[in-house]
Amino acid sequence: MIKNNPFLSDTYTSIWSNHFDGGKKPLSFDSFENIQFYKYAGLPLYINSGKTLTKGMDYRLHPETLNSHRKKVFLIYDVPTYFNTIRDIPENTTLKLLRSKQYPGFAIELGPYTNFNEYMLATFSKSSRYKLNKYKKRFEACFDIRYKMYHGNIGKETYDFVFASFKELLTKRFDDKQITNNNLNPEEWQFYYDVAYPLILEKKASLFVIYDREKPIGVTLNYHSDSVLFDAITVFDIDYAKFHLGSVTIMKLIEYCLAEKIEVFDFSKGYFDYKTRWSNTTYDFEYHIFYDASSFIVKTLASALKRFFDFKQKLRDKNINERLHRFTYKLRHRKTEVKTIDAPFTFHDISSDPLPNGLTEVDLNLAENHKLKMLAFEFLYLNDECFSSLKAFADLTDQYYFIGTNKKVKVSIT
């Protein structure tokens, strides 16, 4: 079992109940150790507290008290196979188990490594390591970057500021992708806001934040057990995409895990390309359906649940869920403008030439200059210039110029 699973803590389950079960006290049954349930209205169905918002449920059966299951179905969502939760059920009981394989899971087992370099050498080729280190160095050279892990202590004012930035970045990210994100559902987001703060103070959660000066440009919500760091939600400012903030975030979190002797960095459920690149182990999430085989009604309900979940997974395998999220996004955001660099551009080196007269300085931090700012980030990345030293100018014909410490260019947009 996982020691001190945060999703089984009193804080997590009580706040979840306040949001999604009317504040009712979670139900415990002698047959199950650690895990608690709520009753589904109108059916003999009991579902784990936390439902699908956890990143991994674990529990243990008590063979000597396998009698509280009579005429009941117990549904436990999101059980990672690497948790090794369930042992064989004794034959002298009517309690039976159905499993429905769901999302794939990805993780990094860090036990074999004593430091970050050992992990990198074992995982990536020489050329890949060079590129990843280059992204991080260039990112830190171009901006005034600092990293902060809030774990065990965070002021409420700081927490509110970071979480507001977190939501803005996540909204911006999925507006760009034009896809619905369930985390941004108002009720679900309010739950994350309410649960993360007390869990951070209890060292059962953390916020990893990347700051550009005082502005959060990357935020990751993590949950902590004694041996596992669960990456729950992570996002970065898409304006900085050229600098590979996703990779930088993962590298910093791996360094943190190794320093804190954390054995597993768990990317949790769902397939993404970056998870396959960084992970060294894969597993499955399962839904566990326990039922009383002596009851026809209960047995029928359990079988129906398994067929339903198996069918949903088949739809996911065919990518139907992503198409649905894109469709619902279009219904809700018919006029959303996605700000991208939509025209070819060229930088002409004029470092040895004098600047034209009559130029006007342009503030790249203004919203109306967003596209020009993206071009400026391209300039920084290509030339190892620092944003704090960069100046942008325009002439009367809207011809733009970027002036760095070591280089100046004329920007041609065609």
Query: What is the arithmetic mean of pLDDT over 136-149?
Result: 97
Q: What is the mean pLDDT of residues 95-100?
A: 93
Residue 291 — very low, low, confident or very high, per pLDDT cuts 50/70/90? very high
pLDDT of residue 34: 87
Compute CA distances 112 → 44, 277, 340, whole Å.
46, 18, 42
160 versus 356: the higher-pLDDT residue is 160
Mean pLDDT of 250-264: 97
**What angle (nearest 5°) sits at the alpha carbon of residue 191, between those of residues 83 and 55?**
15
Confidence of residue 338 (pLDDT cuts 50, 70, 90): very low
- Taking residues 197-224, what's their average pLDDT? 98
* 155-187 CB burial, b ≥16 within 10 A, e <16: eeeebeebbebbbebbebbbbeeebbbebeeee
pLDDT over 60 (residue 335):
no
Q: Please report the pLDDT score of residue 329 as a whole number.
A: 60
What is d(CA 366, CA 373) in angstroms, rounded to the nearest whole number?
9
Task: Please provide the average confidence, as pLDDT, over all residues in the chain.
Answer: 91
| Helix, strand, coil shares, percent, the chain, to 5 | 40, 25, 30
pLDDT in tens, 364-401: 999 999 999 999 999 999 999 999 999 999 998 889 99
Q: pLDDT band at 316, cuts 50/70/90?
A: confident
Residue 315 binned pLDDT confidence (cut-offs 50, 70, 90) = confident
For position 177, what pLDDT does the model report?
83
Tell me: the pLDDT tens digits for 7-47? 999 999 999 999 999 999 999 998 888 899 999 999 999 99
pLDDT classification of 181: cutoffs 50, 70, 90:
confident
| pLDDT at residue 288 tops 90 | yes
Asked whether the predicted pLDDT for residue 249 surpasses 90, the reply is yes
CB 381 within 8 A of CB 409: no
Task: Give the dihedral sign, CA 341/344/350/354.
Answer: negative
Is the pLDDT at 148 greater than 50, yes or no?
yes
At residue 327, the pLDDT reads 54
Task: Lay out the sheet containing 95-109: strands in order across.
Answer: 37-40, 45-48, 73-80, 281-292, 95-109, 264-269, 228-236, 215-224, 205-212, 145-150
Residue 229 has pLDDT above 80, yes or no: yes
Where is pLDDT greater, at 181 or 228?
228
Is residue 339's pLDDT more than 50?
Answer: no
Residue 328 has pLDDT above 80, yes or no: no
pLDDT grade for 317, boundaries at 50, 70 and 90: confident
Identify which has the larger pLDDT, 2 or 148: 148
At residue 109, φ and ψ (nearest 5 deg) are: -85, 115
Quick check: 336 pLDDT over 50?
A: no
- Summarize pLDDT for 51-83 with one digit per residue, the tens: 999 999 999 887 666 667 889 999 999 999 998
- Sign, Cα dihedral of 356, 359, 365, 366: negative
Q: How far, in Å, CA of 369 to CA of 377, rounded?
A: 12
